[in-house]
Amino acid sequence: MPRALAVTWDLVKSDKTPGVRKATLLDFDRVLGLGLASWQPKAEAIPDEITALVEKRQSARREKRFKDADALREAIRSRGYDVEDTPHGPRVKAARGGP
């Protein structure tokens, strides 16, 4: 089993395309029985304080107050969260090393 997991980890870190890695991992999983096909990442709860800052930042961006928006981004970052602007709105996640 340790060797099988080592080979699996080597596959994850390989330079193969994401689609090939996923298909191969799912194929490995049929033998290993790790339940990878049904795994979902844990939902991250964002504190209300951070959500409020993100909403204020979005409002500042809409009103083209970019200095304020940048200051709010820094306030969010100083509390251990990152904001990524996407076409569907901001995405907030804990910074590496997290809060």
Categorize the per-residue pLDDT at 99 as very low, low, confident or very high, splitting at 50, 70 and 90: low
Give the chain's mean pLDDT: 92
Measured CA to CA in angstroms, residue 52 lies from 2, 37, 48, 60, 74 at distances of 46, 35, 6, 12, 14
- Beta bridge partner(s), residue 85: 90
Which distant-in-sequence residues (6+ apart) come within 8 Å of 60 by Cβ?
Answer: 66, 68, 69, 72
Confidence at residue 98, expressed as pLDDT on a 0 to 100 scale: 57
Confidence at residue 19, expressed as pLDDT on a 0 to 100 scale: 94
- Chain segment 31-78, per-residue pLDDT in tens: 999 898 898 877 778 999 999 999 999 999 999 999 999 999 999 999
Confidence at residue 97, expressed as pLDDT on a 0 to 100 scale: 64
Provide the whole-model pTM.
0.58
Categorize the per-residue pLDDT at 27 as very low, low, confident or very high, splitting at 50, 70 and 90: very high
